[in-house]
Amino acid sequence: MEQGYVKSHIEHGINTIEFFHPQSNSLPGKILEDLAKEIHFAGTHDDTRVIILKSAGEKTFCSGASFDELIAINNDAEGLKFFSGFAHVINAMRKCPKFIIGRIQGKCVGGGVGLAASVDYAIAMNNAEVKLSELAVGIGPFVVGPAVERKIGTAAFSTLAIDATTWRSTDWAKRKGLYSEIHESSENMDEAVYRLANTLAHSNPAAMAEMKKIFWKGTEHWDELLKERAAISGKLVLGEFTKNAIAKFKAK
């Protein structure tokens, strides 16, 4: 529990993948690696018809990159390796032939917005505000950017990326297309998640796989693109400006 976890459970064709980290569901390298593996496995597992991606806790769905690991990066190779973790998760979600439903029970920050943008259907609580905070700590949303921009468009993505200190409401996120549904209570949210998951678990797997290919058309080059973006972030995180900015954030 101290280091967080990723776990999955399959029942009636529904594969629920849950992640947790005690620091507001942040994403250290180990959790990113395990998430990518679980999503890839679920995509190849015949017993899985549909995937639910969720996190534990109530207030925060995902707070993005682990500041402890960011500040410990000492060279380009380490930077590339860390940010490639986000790339691997997004690409695993993109290439997975099963639909992924996102259960977004709380706030999304940075990489968390990238996760929410990479699910195929996001069902959120009405407190699930979003913020792309990367520029505020001296980097930018380079790796998650393509996923976010694909989902909400260039104008809305630019708004989030440039104004990196302002929270955008759940209603804003739904209007821009990040969320498909928002609910007033966790009970209603979970009812909606499992209603849809059960419906999809009884739908034609071949049809859903073909639909997913269509929805993600034009992203076939992302294996290379996201690696290039990870290298940009990996270099920026080594700069004095970024290291000072991250240290200030950690001190808050």
Q: Residue 139 has which token pair?
A: 């980097």
Instruction: Categorize the per-residue pLDDT at 67 as very low, low, confident or very high, splitting at 50, 70 and 90.
Output: confident
Average pLDDT of the segment spanning 154-170 = 98
Task: Check residue 10 and give its pLDDT.
Answer: 97
The least confident of 1-10, 89-98, 130-139, 225-234 is 1-10
Average pLDDT of the segment spanning 198-221 = 98
Q: Is the dihedral of CA 218, 220, 222, 224 positive or negative?
A: negative
- Distances from the Cα of 167 to the Cα of 64, 107, 162, angstroms: 14, 9, 12
Q: What is the mean pLDDT of the chain?
A: 96
Pairing of strands 5-11, 14-20: antiparallel
Instruction: Categorize the per-residue pLDDT at 247 as very low, low, confident or very high, splitting at 50, 70 and 90.
Output: confident
Rounded distance, CA 245 to CA 85, Å? Answer: 22
Closest CA to 99 of 130, 122, 76: 122
The answer on pLDDT for 149 being more than 70 is yes
- Segment 18-46, tens digit of pLDDT: 999 999 999 999 999 999 999 999 999 99
Task: Check residue 8 and give its pLDDT.
Answer: 97
**pTM (2 decimals)?**
0.96
Higher model confidence: residue 121 or residue 244?
A: 121
Rounded distance, CA 202 to CA 113, Å? Answer: 29
The answer on pLDDT for 250 being more than 80 is no
* AA letter at 111: G
Q: Residue 239 has which token pair?
A: 């700069």
Closest CA to 147 of 214, 80, 216, 99: 216
Task: Check residue 2 and give its pLDDT.
Answer: 67
Pairing of strands 107-109, 64-65: unpaired
Task: Check residue 248 and give its pLDDT.
Answer: 83
Residues whose CB falls within 8 Å of the CB of residue 212, separated by 6 or more in sequence, listed in order: 96, 97, 98, 99, 120
The least confident of 19-23, 67-71, 190-194 is 67-71
Task: Check residue 1 and give its pLDDT.
Answer: 53
Instruction: Categorize the per-residue pLDDT at 246 as very low, low, confident or very high, splitting at 50, 70 and 90.
Output: confident
Task: Check residue 48 and give its pLDDT.
Answer: 97
Phi, psi (deg, nearest 5) at residue 145: -55, -50
Domains with residue ranges and CATH for the chain: 5-201 (3.90.226.10)
Q: Is the dihedral of CA 156, 112, 173, 133 positive or negative?
A: negative
Q: Residue 2 has which token pair?
A: 């101290």
